[in-house]
Amino acid sequence: SYVGNLEIMIPMAGLIDVDAELARIGKQLEKAEKGLAQVQNKLANEKFVNNAPEAVLAKEHEKLAEFSDARTKLLEQKAKIESL
């Protein structure tokens, strides 16, 4: 589990409902992938990139990194839970 920048690892085998946890992670993964696609589409739009202020572009690149990191962490969590 992630709390801010802190990662907490707790042995979960036998303590969780694997199907429910996979469903929860699946929903979060969908949100992260949707957000990632939206930001990628914005940044792929030449008109947006050419007209947006530098601060807005920086914020979009920040969002891109956040969604990408979230997606990676969720995929790792999913793989760990599937291996229980």
pLDDT, residue 6, reads 74
pLDDT, residue 12, reads 65
| Domain total in the chain | 1
Which CATH number do you get for residue 15? 1.10.287.380
Which residues, at least 6 apart from 4, have a Cβ–Cβ distance to it below 8 Å? Answer: none
pLDDT, residue 66, reads 97
pLDDT, residue 16, reads 80
Note down the domain range covering 41.
Answer: 2-82
- Single-letter amino acid code for the residue at 37: A
Q: Taken in order 4, 68, 16, 10, is the CA torsion positive or negative?
A: negative
Chain segment 5-52, per-residue pLDDT in tens:
777 777 766 778 889 999 999 999 999 999 999 999 999 999 999 999
Q: Looking up tokens 């969590």, which residue turns up?
A: 77
